[in-house]
Every structure is written in C-alpha cells, then in structure tokens.
Amino acid sequence: MTKEPMTDDAMTDPSTADPSTTDSAATPMVTLRGVCKHFGHHQVLYDVDLTVPRGETLCIIGPSGSGKSTMLRCINHLEDISAGQVCVDGNLIGYRLRSDGRLHELHHRRAAEQRLGIGMVFQHFNLFPHMTALENVTLGPIKAKGVAKSEIEPYARQLLERVGLGDKVTAYPSQLSGGQQQRVAIARAMAMRPPLILFDEPTSALDPELVGEVLDVMKDLARTGGITLIVVTHEMGFAREVADRVIFMDAGRIVEEGTPAEVLGDPQHARTRSFLSAVLH
C-alpha cells in the first residue's frame, strides 16, 4: 500500500499558506515574451507571452501538437527558442544580452547551472535505470550542486518518505510500478530544492489506476506552497481542483487563460469549448 502524502495542514488555502504569492512587488517566477519556436520550416510557437507569479500552480491544457510541451521545454532551455525571451526568477534563460543588443546563446555549462533551479518531471519518468531510487534522488545534488552525500541523503530519504516511498529507497526503477517511478521522479526534482518545477504530462503514460497516487503527490506539493508549479496535463479534475490558473493552448498560441472556473467552467472561445467537450464529454 502506498501512503497518502496529503497532510491536514497542507490543505489550507495556498494564498494564505504562502506569503510570497501576495507580494506583488516580487519579480514573477517565469516570464515569456514573444517566444517563437520553429522546427525547421514548421513553427510550433507563435509570439507566446506568459507571466507566472511566484508560488502559482499553473495548468496548461490543449490538444496534442498545440505546443504546450514545447513551451514548457523552452522554460529550462531543453529547447532553444527562435525568437523572444524566457526569464526565470528575473534571469534570462539560455541566452545573454550582450552590448551589441543581441541575445547570445550561453555556453552549455552555464545553461546547466541555470537548470539547477528548475526542476522537471517527464511524461516517461526518465529515471536512471542503473541507480536505486535513493541514488536517483541524490545524484543531482551531489554531482551537479556539489552537496556532500551525507548531507543530502537524510533529506532524500525524507522526500521519498513524503511521496510515500519510504520503503523503496533501495529499489531500482525496474522494480517499481509506473506510479512509483513517477513519484521517485518528483522526489528527484524536489531534491534540488528548486523554486520552480515543470511537469510535462506527468500522468499520461500511467495505467489509469496509478494516476491518482501521482496526482496526490502533486496536490500535496501545490498546497504546501512555496514552489511554483507549471503542469502540462490532460487531467481536468486535477486542474480544476489545484490550479490557481489554467491556460488553454492551441496551434502554438495561448487562446484563453483564467481561473479553472473561468476556463474550464465557462470557456469564452469556441476552440476551448470544442476541446473541453471532447475531453470531458
């Protein structure tokens, strides 16, 4: 049996739980300005503008091929962008503005440093199969951040405990179910103590009965607050329940955005309505 990671005190309203969300003077966690992305001649993102305040839980929905995953991957520079700019925590991501007024791509080592503060959870988990759950979680802090093993291990065990896998510390990914693997992947992202975590369709590759345990962990994260979560998802129930804001994307553009009640309950655009009726039926 997996443990229920939700705690009572985590159930409080996120706006009161995290003071930083009410601080309007703080720089936003993520800003996208005029972001375009081409794959060869094919354009997948058109002039995307987006601001994500600190501590927000943002859900991105939309049909496949709408550019939601690509946009997410631009935020930590897994994809380079063709035009525009991406800022995380006030820092330009992947590029540097030089005195010639142009954006120069960063050396990959600098880009790697920037990713230390941006966690990511993938659709297919992408755990390292040759490492135990604990090693998966501690690798980043030890090898990328230079934290001592003795220092990070207790925290990593605590994180695995929190995602309900305290008894799977020494298990290899092949010995875990999809849901358990994805929870290890979430712990792996959290171990870096990032202020921002990106989720790329985290439950799409899971058997239906395993979706709930992963969503529970994510709800726990969202409600505890303090971390900004951007979640590309097809789970409308999750979006309605936890998201502070929902964005609907189609054909490389943000078509509609608002609170879950607005976007999911009372969509203004025909495209949003047809998508939602197809998904929710």
Q: Which of 20, 43, 82, 126 binds another protein (CB under 8 A)?
A: 126
Smaller CB separation from another protein, 96 or 269: 96
CA 124 to CA 205: how far, in whole Å? 6
Q: Which of 76, 180, 181, 182 binds another protein (CB under 8 A)?
A: 76
Of 260, 263, 243, 264, residue with least CA distance to 14:
243
Question: Does 156 help bind another protein (rule: CB under 8 A)?
Answer: no
The distance from CA 142 to its chain's CA centroid, rounded to whole angstroms, is 22
Instruction: Identify any residues that bridge with 48 across adjacent strands, giving them in sequence order.
Output: 35
CB of 108 to another protein, least distance (A): 6
- Cβ neighbours, 10 Å, residue 178: 18
Torsion from C-alpha of 146, 125, 38, 254, nearest 10 degrees: -110
- C-alpha torsion sign, points 91, 92, 96, 101: negative
Residue owning tokens 């009161």: 16
**Which positions from 23 to 62 touch another protein by CB under 8 A, shown as an x/- string?**
----------------------------------------
Question: Does 124 help bind another protein (rule: CB under 8 A)?
Answer: yes
The secondary structure of 34-49 as a DSSP string is EEEEEETTEEEEEEEE
Does residue 256 sit in helix, strand or coil? strand
Smaller CB separation from another protein, 192 or 264: 192
Question: Does 172 help bind another protein (rule: CB under 8 A)?
Answer: yes
CB of 128 to another protein, least distance (A): 6
Question: Does 239 help bind another protein (rule: CB under 8 A)?
Answer: no
Which positions touch another protein (CB under 8 A)? 76, 78, 108-109, 112-113, 115-116, 118-120, 122, 124, 126-130, 139-140, 143-145, 172, 174, 185, 188-189, 192
